[in-house]
Amino acid sequence: MTFLGNGTATWPQWRGRLSIFRLTVVMLMHLLLLLTPMTHHRTEAVLCLALTYVSLQFGLVLGYHRLLSHRCFTTYAWFRRFCALLGTLSMQSGPITWVAIHRVHHRISEQELDPHTPRYGSLWAHFAWTFFEHPTLSHSEERTALARDLYADPFMRFCEEKFIAVNAAGVAIVFLSGVAVGGLQRGFSFLVWLVAVRVVCLWHITFMTNSMGHMFGYRNYKTNDDSRNLWLIAILGLGDGWHNNHHAFPPCAAHGRRWFEVDVTYRLIRLFEFIGLAWDVRHPSAVPVVRDVEAGAAQHLV
């Protein structure tokens, strides 16, 4: 494996079977973006913006990441399941698979079997890794072993096992809603904006953390990986862009550690704590805000 100064490298030799299904879906979604100028309506644009925010905030950043992967706080079962459903409808993977991959990434970040380290190239870290099977995550039993806390919930198992069916139903609902508004043409317009545009935005915002979050920016903490803090991802990712801080203290509900590192998701969690929707929040009050910490701090997992 050859590493170049620009952060590119040969793809890992351990990559497994290429998923033609995933590759086809991704290509189709991106091709549909070419039709946005011909299907634009103000209603679709507004709904797309709103649904993208809700999916990102509650489905991925708050739900899949901080709540399910790292258990940064506790909440009611109905809200936990609501977040998991929104995460499922973001078309990345079911909750058990997403959490298993993320926990592996934290345990062996920048090592050989890290699913999406940029040491195999920026293209691999950003997107290409999703098309190939991982040698230790290709079977459901392996993923379940890393996310037994989720597997114990029947709804999480449903979202995992019926991932394609749930998303197919979601696409059908979007299309039929558009048809009800203005016929087949509006139904197709709804598909382009509320499915393709929304999902592609969610993909790239999430995957920028995997790639750019380990390549560009500054570091507050000496962790055992290449994680960086990058303001662009922090804005787009609703606080998840303070990635070096997160790798230093994964269980912490707050990713921003310095006064200018705004973390809107942590503020939302604090609001939920105030109104009684969240409790057992892992606040950073006991963690010193300094430039460096011992590398061992990065070994905290969930």
With residue 84 as reference, give the H or E element that holds it: helix 77-88
Does the pLDDT of residue 278 top 80, yes or no? yes
pLDDT (mean) for 209-233: 95
Does the pLDDT of residue 117 top 70, yes or no? yes
Does the pLDDT of residue 76 top 90, yes or no? yes
pLDDT (mean) for 37-58: 94
| Residue 75 φ/ψ region, left for φ over 0, alpha for ψ in the -120 to 50 degree band, beta for the rest | beta
Closest by Cα among 57, 61, 75 to 272: 75
Percent of the residues in the chain that have a pLDDT greater than 90, as a whole number: 84
Distance between CA 47 and CA 50 in Å, rounded?
5
Residue 32 confidence (pLDDT): 95
pTM score: 0.90
Does the pLDDT of residue 155 top 70, yes or no? yes
Q: Which residue would you say has higher pLDDT here, 118 or 302?
A: 118
Contact yes or no for 199/90 (Cβ under 8 A) = yes
**Tokens of residue 2, six digits:** 């050859």
Residue 9 confidence (pLDDT): 57
Closest by Cα among 174, 164, 208, 187 to 24: 164
**Tokens of residue 239, six digits:** 């606080």
Could you tell me how far CA 91 lies from the centroid of its own chain? 10
Does the pLDDT of residue 7 top 60, yes or no? no
**For all residues of the chain together, what is the average pLDDT?**
90
Distance between CA 128 and CA 135 in Å, rounded?
15
DSSP string covering 59-79: IIIIIIIIIIIT--SEE-HHH
